Structure 1
């Protein structure tokens, strides 16, 4: 990692910052009490809790749990905006995703949809080649832009920062209207002393490569996932705790937004429906900023610029 001048280099990439970056959350679509699928009233409750400084959420798939059918009425009622995910692997699943877009996007004004994202770390996991992912982005864009009112809706992808800076994946960046980067200092095993430096450096590298590949600095960019777990097992030097999550929020989430970078935090709520063995000693069940049943966050979400 190239930590020392990350913030100065980031400033040179994004230029003079004139606005605070927007805040949003990655959102699960299953209830924690019974692992059942959320319905519209569940999403309305989620949005009421999230509220405040955030009015954007991202979901990972359109058809799973009838997500679009249930979330779009809540989006409109709560005046939130949405990143719609499309899962591009497995032909049957992919067909169901496209069918959901065709059925439900026409039911809501396109102003509520920030973008449609094809794949979530599909390159990082090796689910699709760059060429195959680019092809599916093209297919989904054709579908979305064929829906009345959605002719200009961005269609792109979300992936880990390190695969986005890999020149082998430039075709995806060139094809996508919007490219969103994930970066987790926890999964790099960073100490808290290094966590924000690592995060800024990762995002700076991704943004530089995206801008260079696109040949323009006039692009819409978001951090797609970042955060810090509040419990579970340590990964190398990275230790989950509420205090560490609070520090990461202030130094990294607030810090990157202060530089004008839009940020989605992983994730809004703990997902206790996941197996307790998931991740390292159950760490995957403790990424939420809120617990399963508490309307107050685990730590302060106030930023100095608020």
Structure 2
């Protein structure tokens, strides 16, 4: 697929105020619908930390609720599991379809009272809501995404949380909201952006019907979504709270589930753009939502040996120089004398080198690649390889 070295100059390079956590989003139920207990969470968190070949230690977890399944306001048993496994927690307060978050606040306060700093020291953030604005958007309604919440409701819940915990051990924990990328540029949601310390991005190119959602275009779609969200929220840090590609399930427009495509997405988006660069919570380690028609889990039965190789390519586009794009190989191009007018043109065949490209797109297969729009300046002359097939070693960084 196309190389995807966007990090160096895209919005993804913007510094975040938090450590660049690696983790998974995890639901409160098992695939059969039963509530997870402490032992289930411990097994999950332990497996995540021991994944063979992982590009770092996945020792963080994102939760969607603070309430233990089967109860109305008991603290979720993931708290105890996180303490036992030293797992950092991005907490979640469920906000859709309700007029109050009091049960969530009660459960969190009970957990804090029970575990004190042992819990508080592991909490890296708290999200007030998850995709609530999307569910209430035109797209969400068309997709029958369920009952959401309007922005003024979310802002009210944010204020409720801050008032309840501003003198507790969690008073300094950054507060955020998680949603799909397309709600953040919507001006009606600006109040939510203004009310939080960070935003969480749930982004799945696989589901982007009508936008060329092939696996080959997935990295481009992800980058476009991230950059649009980042531009909308300004200096607020953006965390990636859900992303992934299914290994099985239905074909979604042009999005095809397969183990090979899940690995390609892991490399092109996870390795090349996110891991150890942006706080990232992949979806997901193990299947825990029976309502999904697709399976995203990277493991079976919490095996530490994932269904595909988790190691990142030895050389990725984003690990190359951040200041220039360099391509070297054999090719054919057109040299133009002079910078204006209709100067003479000469076809050049041989070794071409492009440095400092501002727009270079590649498609690599084996030892060959195609370079488009690469320019280099040498003693006043301009060599424009508008269509040149380069064969040899190709290394690109700073693609856009």
Short-chain TM bin = 0.7 to 0.9
Residues 43-62 of structure 1: matches in 2 within 5 Å?
43-52=41-50, 53-62=57-66
Q: Relative to structure 1, is the Cα distance of residues 225 and 170 closer, same or farther in structure 2, using a 3 angstrom cutoff?
A: same
What does residue range 137-152 of structure 1 map to in structure 2 within 5 Å?
Answer: 137-147=158-168, 149-152=169-172
Cα deviation, residue 94, structure 1: 2.5
Within a 5 Å distance, the mapping from 1:165-244 to structure 2 comes to 165-189=185-209, 190-211=213-234, 216=235, 219-244=236-261
- What is the alpha-carbon distance in structure 1 between the residues aligned to residue 35 and residue 302 of structure 2? 16
TM-score by length of 2: 0.66
TM-score (norm 1): 0.85
- Paired residue for 1:123? 133
Residue 54 of structure 1: SS of its match in structure 2? Answer: coil
Task: Determine the structure 1 residue equivalent to 2:306.
Answer: 297
Q: Select the residue among 73, 82, 85 that pairs with 2:80.
A: 73
Contact 1:72/1:108 (CA < 8 Å) preserved in 2?
Answer: no
22-31 or 170-179: bigger deviation: 22-31
Structure having the higher strand fraction is: 2
Which of residues 89, 92, 96 is equivalent to 1:82?
A: 89
Q: Does 1:132 align with 2:130?
A: no
Q: In the aligned structure 1, how far is the partner of 2:42 from the partner of 2:4?
A: 42
Deviations 1:184-214 (A, max 9, x none): 1001141111001111121121112212xxx
Cα deviation, residue 30, structure 1: 1.7
Partner of 1:161: 181
Query: Residue in 1 aligned with 2:267?
Result: 250
Shift of 1:91: 4.0
Tell me by how many angstroms 1:95 deviates.
Answer: 2.3
User: Deviation digits for residues 249-300 of structure 1, max 9, x if unmatched?
Assistant: 00001111268222111112113x61xxx45xx31xx111122453421112
Matches of 2:3 and 2:310, distance apart in 1: 27
CA displacement, residues 89-140 of structure 1 (integer Å, 9 cap, x when unaligned): 3447722111101111232422200111111100000111111111111111
- Residue 327 (structure 2) aligns with: none
Cα distance in 2, alignment partners of residues 25 and 180 from structure 1? 13
SS in 1 for 2:91: strand
Give the conservation status (yes or no) of the 8 Å contact 2:44–2:302: no
Gap regions ≥5 residues in structure 1: none
Structure 2 spans left out of the alignment, 5+ residues: 51-56, 137-147, 316-400
- SS, match of residue 223 in structure 1: strand
1:288 paired with 2:297, answer: yes
CA distance in structure 1 between the partners assigned to 2:314 and 2:188 by the alignment = 39
Query: Separation in 1 of the partners of 2:222 and 2:96?
Result: 29
Q: Which has the higher helix share?
A: 1
Answer whether contact 1:61 1:85 (CA < 8 A) is retained.
yes
Checking the alignment, whether the CA contact within 8 Å between 1:61 and 1:86 is kept in structure 2 is yes
Who is 1:36 aligned against? 34
State the alpha-carbon separation in 1 of the partners of residues 280 and 241 from structure 2.
7
CA distance in 2, matches of 1:21, 1:91: 32
**What is the number of residues matched between the two proteins?**
287
CA RMSD of aligned residues (A): 2.8
